[in-house]
């Protein structure tokens, strides 16, 4: 496959490179792993196959040989030689055709799976791009040639349903600890709602507290020795603005972690946009209502511009260690 246009940001991703924490390397992988898994199963790939993760869409590809693809994640218009096709199904693309993704109308990340997988050379056992560590294949640019692997010899497996998405506010489950005792009122994390700020990327999401909702305050001014940071950790700097860590999170950090989002809800976080409301619930709380994941009335040009500006800022600061996304 040849990249004609990458859109705002497109990277090759699989399910990551576990097992390298001792050498200082995080797992990385698809931010919304459920959507990548769906794309792979739709085209008959192993779950571990690599695909393409696109910020908001905008990807354009040409194919010199026939391929079968599936598009999942954030809903975006899809055309093959200007003919619209459905998302969430396996679609044959004939030799010489051009595939285009429009701008997603909701959510944040679109995934493309191709039968055989994107077969770029693996690094430490994974084809994922880690944007914080600068590890793995470079973000896609126009002119890139992406090899496609051999046809898989896997037995078709059940395809999970699309990402359960919700209206405004979205609720995700978080397990308190390990450092909730560092806060004067740790239960304030679960009080009211938070707003997704414009400071977000594959490393994490910084949240703002709207209105008169209670802030999160440390009990005392003291230093926490650096300790391990898991996927979904909610780290609280002195400002009281939570940072929720996503796929490319640092493996250690020096601010207390008040709670950790359950792994099953990480894909929900990966699809949130700036300005969206978010509420945390303890495990066993009310389940999320099903509804559209969107800004409310839908995305506008200003919404898209704000997201792209946030990612440009984040990319320029990607080498900054540990304490901020």
Name every residue whose Cβ is closer than 8 Å to that of residue 218 and which is 6 or more positions away in sequence. 182, 183, 184, 236, 238, 256
Confidence at residue 166, expressed as pLDDT on a 0 to 100 scale: 54
pLDDT mean over 176-192? 94
Confidence at residue 153, expressed as pLDDT on a 0 to 100 scale: 87
Domain with CATH 2.40.100.10 in the chain: 170-316
| Of residues 129, 101, 121, 105, the one with CA closest to residue 39 | 101
Alpha-helical (H) ranges within the chain are: 33-42, 266-270, 301-316
Q: In which band, very low, low, confident or very high, does the pLDDT at 318 lie, cut at 50, 70 and 90?
A: very low
Considering only 58-72, 76-90, 207-221, 271-285, which range has the smallest mean pLDDT?
Answer: 207-221
Half-sphere exposure at residue 239, Cβ-oriented, CA atoms within 13 angstroms: 10
pLDDT in tens, 97-132: 999 999 999 999 999 999 999 999 999 999 999 999
pLDDT in tens, 204-252: 999 999 887 888 988 877 788 899 999 999 999 988 999 999 999 999 9
Confidence at residue 288, expressed as pLDDT on a 0 to 100 scale: 40
CATH of 170-316, one of 3.40.50.1100, 2.170.190.11, 1.20.58.390, 2.40.100.10: 2.40.100.10
Does residue 323 register a pLDDT over 90?
Answer: no
Structure-model confidence comparison of residues 290 and 70, the more confident one: 70
- What does pTM read for this prediction? 0.87
Q: Tell me the torsion sign for CA atoms 10, 15, 17, 21.
A: positive
Structure-model confidence comparison of residues 217 and 291, the more confident one: 217
Under a CB-based contact definition with an 8 Å cutoff, are residues 325 and 197 in contact? Answer: no
Q: What are the backbone dihedrals phi and psi of residue 319, each rounded to the nearest 5 degrees, phi first?
A: -85, -5
Confidence at residue 247, expressed as pLDDT on a 0 to 100 scale: 98
Average pLDDT, the chain: 87
Does residue 74 register a pLDDT over 50?
Answer: yes
pLDDT in tens, 2-54: 999 999 999 999 999 999 989 999 999 999 999 999 999 999 999 999 999 99
Does residue 296 register a pLDDT over 90?
Answer: no
């Amino acid at each position: 496959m040849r990249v004609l246009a990458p859109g705002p940001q497109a990277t090759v991703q699989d399910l990551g490179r576990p097992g390298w924490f001792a050498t200082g390397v995080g797992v990385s992988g698809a931010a919304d792993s459920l959507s990548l898994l769906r794309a792979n199963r739709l085209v008959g790939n192993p779950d571990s196959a690599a695909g393409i993760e696109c910020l908001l869409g905008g990807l354009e590809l040409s194919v010199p040989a026939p391929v079968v693809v599936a598009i999942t994640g954030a809903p975006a218009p899809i055309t093959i030689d200007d003919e619209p096709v459905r998302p969430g199904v396996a679609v044959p693309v004939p030799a010489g055709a051009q595939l285009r993704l429009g701008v997603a109308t909701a959510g944040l990340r679109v995934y493309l799976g191709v039968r055989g997988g994107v077969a770029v050379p693996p690094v430490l056992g994974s084809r994922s791009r880690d944007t914080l560590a600068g590890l793995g294949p470079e973000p896609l640019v126009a002119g890139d040639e992406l090899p496609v692997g051999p046809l898989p010899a896997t037995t078709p497996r059940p395809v999970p349903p699309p990402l359960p998405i919700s209206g405004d506010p979205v609720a995700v489950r978080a397990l308190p600890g390990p450092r909730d005792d560092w806060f004067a009122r740790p239960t304030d994390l679960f009080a009211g709602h938070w707003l997704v700020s414009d400071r977000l990327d594959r490393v994490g999401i910084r949240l703002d507290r709207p209105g008169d909702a209670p802030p999160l305050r440390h009990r005392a001014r003291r230093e926490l020795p650096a300790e391990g940071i898991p996927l979904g950790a909610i780290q609280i700097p002195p400002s009281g603005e939570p940072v929720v860590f996503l796929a490319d999170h640092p493996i250690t950090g020096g601010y207390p972690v008040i709670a950790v989002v359950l792994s099953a809800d990480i894909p929900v976080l990966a699809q949130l946009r700036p300005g969206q409301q978010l509420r945390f619930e303890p495990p066993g709380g009310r389940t999320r209502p099903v509804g559209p994941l969107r800004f409310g009335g839908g995305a506008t040009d200003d919404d898209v511009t704000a997201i792209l500006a946030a990612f440009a800022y984040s990319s320029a600061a990607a080498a900054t260690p540990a304490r901020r996304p």
